[in-house]
Amino acid sequence: MNKKLMSKKKPSYKISKSLNDYLISYNRKIIIPIFYEDLKRFSGSVSVYNNKEIDTLWVRVFYSDFERKEIDENLKKVYNLLHSDGNELNIKFLNVDAIDYCTFGNSKPFRVKIRNVLNDNFTYFYVKKADASRVYGLEFEHILSPYNLNFLVFEDTLIEEHITGIPGDEFFDEFLPKCNDLEKTQIAKEFVKFNERCMIRLLGDMRSYNYVIIPTHDFDQVVYKIRAIDFDQQSYEGNLQIYRPQFFKENKRIMEIIKDKLQKNSVDQYKIEERSIIAKRILSSIQRSKNILKCMISDNISKKENIKLLSQQIYSLTRDQNFKKASNMGEIMKASFDYILNNYENHEMLSVD
């Protein structure tokens, strides 16, 4: 897929009252001591290079001595709010090692590196501009994927935990050539399931640098999982292919492995398995699923032409009238949920009234 098939820049959508109420009810909204705009007042920056001396397109930012002290204290408080109950007893053992700013993409996030000085363990979190699309993307990932997600929202600022793993493009360059045939087959299977999950929950732009591959050692083998790390393109674009990672040229190498290692009936079986798992996750979080869909149906997070095109394309694929009737992205998502549930032991459609 060529990048030109995607919009040049997705607009930012404000968080609606209904979404704000949803965030409050699920403890996603909390008062924080620093905002995204505060971090933009840096006085200087230098480029950040990786261990191969390649520019990462992140810059390390610096603040005046007076501002830096206050910013560091507030970021440590944010870390505690994100990862614990906000207790400040451990703040004296925390250090802000670096604040990096991303110079490309829609969200332009700040990445904060927090280190525990007692044991030198460190972790990251991100400070971003709050955008309704991104918040919906995070919530759907929390509900529908195998992974829970930790994030906080306050006014126009979004705090996100860091998702660990090897970026897909880096994995394909450095690790995939070293994998044996069994490992490549397992990665191919995981990508088929990841591809299906992205399409069902309408998460777009999963090029290889927007997801990570997570290796886990299990007895005498390494098990690989694939996890999205970028949720900016949730339910915005009109072209269905944008929600199917298989069509991005950046994923060509893994698609070649799928063709080489998996037979069509195996691919079909993995798709069925993933749909069944997603149906179970919806049912296990049924009230939460209904509530987030209700918010999304009342919200505006895309353009009319995108909604019309996407509903028509999914209808052509499924012949489900609910997609054809959908008038906004929330109704398309609800139709997707219902389609999955209707094909899973004939469960009734979700009622969000």
Strands (E), 15-162: 44-49, 55-62, 94-102, 110-116, 122-129, 151-154, 157-161
Q: Give the rounded percent of residues in the chain with a pLDDT score beyond 90.
A: 84
For the record, the structure tokens of 151 come out as 């994030």
For the residues 100-109, what does the mean pLDDT come to? Answer: 85
State the pLDDT at residue 299: 97
Give pTM, 2 decimals. 0.93
Assign 281 to helix, strand or coil.
helix
Is 194 within 8 Å of 211 (Cβ atoms)? yes
The string over 181-197, giving b where at least 16 C-beta atoms fall within 10 Å of a residue's C-beta and e elsewhere, is eebbbbbbbbbbbbbbb
State the pLDDT at residue 172: 96
For the record, the structure tokens of 210 come out as 């927007």
Q: Could you read off the pLDDT of 123-142 as tens digits, one per residue?
A: 999 999 999 999 999 999 99
Q: Could you read off the pLDDT of 14-68 as tens digits, one per residue?
A: 999 999 999 999 999 999 999 999 999 999 999 999 888 888 889 999 999 889 9
State the pLDDT at residue 4: 57
